[in-house]
Structure 1
Amino acid sequence: MSSQFALLKSRRFGPFFGTQFLGAFNDNLYKNALVVLLTFQATQWTAMKPELLANLAAGIFILPFFLFSATAGQLADKYDKARLARLTKVLEIAITVIAGAGFWLHNLSVLLFALFLLGLQSTLFGPVKYAILPQHLHEDELVGGNALVEAGTFVAILIGTLVGGLLAGVEGGTVWITSGCMLTAVLGYLTSRGIPEAPAPEPTLKINPNPITETWRNIGFARENRTVFLSILGISWFWLFGALLLAQFPAYAKNVLGGTVTCVTLLLGIFTLGIGIGSLLCERLSSKQVEIGLVPFGSIGLTVFGLDLAFASPATPPASALSIMPFLMAEGTIRILFDLFAIGLFGGFFIVPLYALMQIRSEASHRARIIAANNIVNALFMVVGAGAAAVLLSSGLSIPMLFAVAAICNAAVALYIYGLVPEFLLRFIVWLLVHSVYRLEKKDLDRIPESGPALIICNHVSYVDALVITAACHRPIRFVMDHHIFRWPILSFVFKAGRAIPIASARDDPVLLEKAFDEVSAALAAGELVGIFPEGQITSDGELCPFRPGISRILERNPVQVVPVALSGLWGSIFSRRDGPAMSALWKARPFRRIAIAAGEPVNASQALPDSLRADVLALRGELR
């Protein structure tokens, strides 16, 4: 994790991280301080019930996300994002002055107006927050950067919530709250001055002031790329799931677990710790690339531990309230805390790759508006989730059963999304392969072009060669493979999900052969990567067979660059043909087998002859088969 923490020392990231951290901290300091004041000193401010006031405050804070996210996205695409970040910090200072006036005048309306303005400030900063990362970070830094942002955001929420509640309970709390908010806002502004310039991608953009039509237009931008739009739905679902859990913590700790206010803090802290660690582990587990295979892994954990949290909860609370030590000693508490930590951990695995995927696959010209659409959908999901939870609880459903319902719904949502975009499950399978069966070393894979068509050629050692190459390359590759292997019962789903192209010999099926070449040509013409194994068969002795002339036929129709790739270390593994058919000898199933993949310099189509390409692959492979 050292590499992602090194970003904090970089001017490209450090000042921005500090700015967003302080902003999230200040939002939650003021919001929670106000809720605590209105809960415990309600009669001094209004005749409304504390429960109504708490929900009113939450609604007022989230309302600007619906009203102004579309405008915020346009501003972030039209103007320099570093300048916008500084302006939002100036606005935050002004809002703190208004909040201070509300406390001094003892005027609830002014305080709620300041809360609305804080929501507006967060709305304006939201598109800047995520759209600036791809401008300042390299692609292999995006996962680490997003992980730090997510971990920092939840830590800021936790600390801000705790400090806000603490300041609200001390003598002269309103003065302390105002001073704390002002100090944080000023520090945030000073930090923002260190953010490097982030030039606007669309400086000539004409601002549409109509939030309804612009919101629909932004959602349209997101829908242009199905993977981006489904990433937004996944992100929004996580915020619904997480907000639903967090909203129940006070009542869950008191009415189900029999704990005190300190126990609520413990639950929140454990959950936040899990999200922070899960987010930070993403970079290591994904080898710095945007690994969407972690998303199904995360969703499985959310469902499993969400259900276990429901089952682990006691049927009846203790007879008397438990302070922190008796609470920790109570039967089942450690299991509950572990479940909360695991939900946070797998939540980090779920959310970080989705944010990175949304950023990297969004068009740069309207990336901020797509992120604005994400913020709108996030807010909508959280409101719907809160409403659904209120209806279920008022209908007599217990809080543990509410957790179970949320976990089951999470499984249904995950299956729906993965059914629409099989790429998520494909990446999950290949991620499992290289993290359980193999240890994969990569060399010079940056020679594979970031965009545009290319033909990837590789030696054929085992039945999982295509999966290993897929795991190593973050760009999707359409592999050409023998139609018999393509129809294997176990792997056919994976190959279909990866849009592999089945091929047969002219003797077996001449129609399928011609169809395969047509599909290869269409894929290259569309700017995709196509992978082939020119030997035409899996090696039976570990050595390279002669390369067949199919390469030349492909390049005659589409004269693209050819990237030679070599696999080594797979000969002798359970999926190779050493000492008999694949998977026939259990001794081959050695876990964490070290394998390697290396890419050579791209070769122009005019020089890409089968014999010379075979020599390139052999040189890349080396002595290790």
Structure 2
Amino acid sequence: MKQTATAQVASDEAQRPAAAPSHPNQFALLGQRRFAPFFWTQFSGAANDNLFKFAFTVMVTYQLQVSWMPPAMAGLVIGALFILPFLLFSATSGQITDKFDKRRIIRLVKNLEIGIMALAAFGFMMHNAAVLLACTFLMGLHSTLFGPVKFAYLPQMLDEHELTGGNGMVEMGTFVAILLGNIVGGLLVAVPEIGHAQVAIACLALAIVGRGVAQFIPAAPATDPGLVINWNPVSETLRNLKMARGNLVVFRSLLGISWMWFFGAVFLSQFPSFARDVLHGDEQVASLLLVVFSIGIATGSLLCEVLSRRQVEIGLVPLGAIGMTIFAIDLYFAARGLPPSSAQTLGQFIAVPAHWRVMADLALLSLFAGLYSVPMYALIQLRSQPTHRARIIAANNILNALFMIASSVIAGALLGAGASIPQIFLLVGLANAVVAGYIFMLVPEYLLRFIAWITSHLMYRFRVRGEDNIPLTGPAILVCNHVSFVDAVLLMAASPRPITFVMDHRIFRIPVLGAIFRLAKAIPIAPRSADERTYEQAFERAAAVLREGDLLAIFPEGGITRDGTLQPFKGGIMKILERARADGIEPPVVPMALTNLWGSFFSRAELVDGEPTAMAKPFRRGLWNRVGLEVGTPLSGTDAHPDRLHEQVATLMTEKVS
């Protein structure tokens, strides 16, 4: 399986454009052909989807009385009909994306969009809700075909350090497009007499513009051209879900993303009714809520690259989940007890101080949703096999559709049972805490990365240099000096991949830290003279980690330094390498050095009764200390003798943190 992961990266590298220039930040991607035409194609499609859907929703909520679709249910019906094709056709679209060039598929999808929007223009001109409902389903089909292409294209064109930023840009662009689409749709449809005609023209024009931009997308070759397509959606859907379950971290991440769409769909579908019935606003107030929500998502998505040091940082996911819960619950309290009034204009609504709290809750809730979703998407792209990536994304879309349909059914049932819209928001906020906690217990890597992110960003100012020397695939041994009780946590924060640590068995007895290291499945080791069984088991488990193609980290001094100096290295590294060679593995050995950490709270810099002690004076060095990690050039196993490694680490320790 790990050899497949290595082949996966090699496949992506082979298909990536030869010139993939480095850039200072994610916005520079907009100046590169491998990204910009794709970005604007996605942008125009998302804008058109939402211009059409929101104009239609406003029309049947405020303007056109349809006996068989009550205004309070219009948003739910339109939303459910739009996502139904994701459930029916995602499995097929995933196969098509893996089998054919993605540029070709994108152009065909944009041609389809032009035809659908021509039909929608007729529906708007004739005020025909049935035709527009049919177009809603067809636009859902259009998005179903485009979805796997979108997320399979990015890892094929961007390198690993660009993946979070690229996903953030796409997520930002999507929600800015949602914002603009909803604003334009809401404004155009509200124009007396000519509003519906203006919506029709705008939808058709956007589809044509999107097709024009798609012409400039570079070729993105098929990843599995020999695939035989199974046109049976039921059996292929089951096969896709089974395939996704083959990688538990990826599958549970799919569940996490699907829950986010459940959460978001509840809010998005209720905005028109929330604006009218709870906030007592007109159509422009409903548009304002979507503006605030979209700006929040876009901001959170862009922050991901800044907060993640340009790596796939899933430690942001728990942070996002916490914020989503807090502000969903506060939105309930903010929306309670607002005085009844006639329909307020946008200016009248903004003039009420209590409404600013509602908008702040929506903005922050959606910002944290952006922090939650972008790293999950990047993780799925990074850890899925290229030959199956689009089908994994299709499985994600199937699950998303199931969760969003469930959200529509549950929200509709709660409304039918007499629940208010703020009460629904409260229940979803509370459920988010339960679901997120469950997912993080199933995939401890999220929680561990969150702890590492908090430690490296809030407790210390942590700078890493030479992180490109940490291999992105395959087995490797990381060798580092041992300065404090949080060394392993800081190494977790620096690595783009999970690390298994070999650690002194005594550290597992420390409250909280011991629980963290057990959760991380760290390997306890004891001196052979003290506990021969633990000693032998540690080396066997270390060999198993390398056989699986994972990262193994050791602190060869055998314990935390008592005076801040680098202690002699023990011979355990040689035994680990010998066992690896016996398994036919020759892992590189990466020397690393933590700097400026001695003297901090978690180091043994304090004397208590004459003994070096850690965690004695919390503010000895103040707050937010500068610490660093220097990562050296990997050594081959034959060169990785304890003395040579000691020399390398000692040299790295002389580097200054700036």
TM over 0.5: yes
How far apart, in 2, do the equivalents of 1:102 and 1:330 lie?
38
Which residue is 1:602 aligned to? 634
2:364 is the counterpart of 1:342:
yes
2:250 is the counterpart of 1:223:
no
2:618 is the counterpart of 1:586:
yes
Which residue is 1:390 aligned to? 412
How far apart, in 2, do the equivalents of 1:89 and 1:551 lie?
57
How far apart, in 1, do the equivalents of 2:374 and 2:515 lie?
26
Which residue is 2:333 aligned to? 311
Q: Which runs of 5+ in 1 are unaligned?
A: none
Which residue is 1:571 aligned to? 598
Which residue is 2:496 aligned to? 474
Superposed CA deviations along residues 457-506 of structure 1, whole A, max 9, x for unmatched, are: 11111111111111001111111111110221111221112210001112
Specify which of 531, 535, 541 is matched with residue 519 of structure 1.
541
Within-5 A mapping of 1:279-428: 279-428=301-450
Specify which of 537, 550, 556 is matched with residue 559 of structure 2.
537
Change over 3 Å in CA distance of 1:38–1:192 after alignment to 2: same
Superposed CA deviations along residues 20-45 of structure 1, whole A, max 9, x for unmatched, are: 010011111222223333445536x8
Superposed CA deviations along residues 138-171 of structure 1, whole A, max 9, x for unmatched, are: 1111111111111111121121122223222333
Paired AA for residue 419 in structure 2? L
TM-score, normalised by the number of residues in structure 2: 0.91
Which residue is 1:270 aligned to? 292
Change over 3 Å in CA distance of 1:58–1:459 after alignment to 2: closer
Q: Is the CA contact 1:298–1:346 (under 8 Å) kept in the aligned structure 2?
A: yes
How far apart, in 2, do the equivalents of 1:17 and 1:128 lie?
12
Which residue is 2:262 aligned to? 240
How far apart, in 1, do the equivalents of 2:372 and 2:513 lie?
25
Q: Is the CA contact 2:167–2:374 (under 8 Å) kept in the aligned structure 1?
A: yes
Superposed CA deviations along residues 520-550 of structure 1, whole A, max 9, x for unmatched, are: 1111122111111111111112111111111
Q: Is the CA contact 1:239–1:381 (under 8 Å) kept in the aligned structure 2?
A: yes
Within-5 A mapping of 1:47-66: 49-50=70-71, 55-66=76-87
Which residue is 2:526 aligned to? 504
How far apart, in 1, do the equivalents of 2:516 and 2:593 lie?
22
Which residue is 1:617 aligned to? 649
Change over 3 Å in CA distance of 1:410–1:281 after alignment to 2: same
How far apart, in 2, do the equivalents of 1:568 and 1:243 lie?
46
Change over 3 Å in CA distance of 1:532–1:47 after alignment to 2: closer
Superposed CA deviations along residues 227-276 of structure 1, whole A, max 9, x for unmatched, are: 11111111111111111012222222232233333222222211211111
Paired AA for residue 175 in structure 1? A
- The Cα shift of 1:49 comes to 4.8
Change over 3 Å in CA distance of 1:302–1:50 after alignment to 2: closer
- The Cα shift of 1:46 comes to 7.7
3-state SS of 1:540 partner:
coil
- The Cα shift of 1:589 comes to 4.5
How far apart, in 1, do the equivalents of 2:73 and 2:623 lie?
57
Paired AA for residue 602 in structure 2? F
TM-score, normalised by the number of residues in structure 1: 0.96
CA RMSD of aligned residues (A): 2.0
Q: Is the CA contact 1:42–1:48 (under 8 Å) kept in the aligned structure 2?
A: no
Structure 1 range deviating more: 559-568 or 613-622: 559-568
How far apart, in 1, do the equivalents of 2:68 and 2:355 lie?
38
Which residue is 2:28 aligned to? 6
Change over 3 Å in CA distance of 1:38–1:260 after alignment to 2: closer
Q: Is the CA contact 1:42–1:50 (under 8 Å) kept in the aligned structure 2?
A: no
Q: Which runs of 5+ in 2 are unaligned?
A: 1-22, 582-586, 608-612
Specify which of 541, 558, 562 is matched with residue 589 of structure 2.
562
Superposed CA deviations along residues 38-61 of structure 1, whole A, max 9, x for unmatched, are: 445536x88765556655433332
3-state SS of 1:479 partner:
strand
How far apart, in 2, do the equivalents of 1:47 and 1:381 lie?
25
Change over 3 Å in CA distance of 1:272–1:462 after alignment to 2: same
Q: Is the CA contact 1:36–1:165 (under 8 Å) kept in the aligned structure 2?
A: yes
2:100 is the counterpart of 1:79:
yes
3-state SS of 2:630 partner:
strand
Q: Is the CA contact 1:257–1:314 (under 8 Å) kept in the aligned structure 2?
A: no
Which residue is 1:121 aligned to? 142
- The Cα shift of 1:401 comes to 1.8
How far apart, in 2, do the equivalents of 1:57 and 1:311 lie?
28
Structure 1 range deviating more: 521-530 or 119-128: 521-530
Change over 3 Å in CA distance of 1:101–1:400 after alignment to 2: closer
3-state SS of 1:475 partner:
coil
How far apart, in 2, do the equivalents of 1:164 and 1:472 lie?
45
How far apart, in 1, do the equivalents of 2:73 and 2:452 lie?
49
Q: Is the CA contact 1:132–1:198 (under 8 Å) kept in the aligned structure 2?
A: yes
Paired AA for residue 164 in structure 1? G
Superposed CA deviations along residues 583-624 of structure 1, whole A, max 9, x for unmatched, are: 112342422211111222221222211111100111111165
Specify which of 41, 49, 54 is matched with residue 27 of structure 1.
49
Which residue is 1:91 aligned to? 112
How far apart, in 1, do the equivalents of 2:42 and 2:485 lie?
47
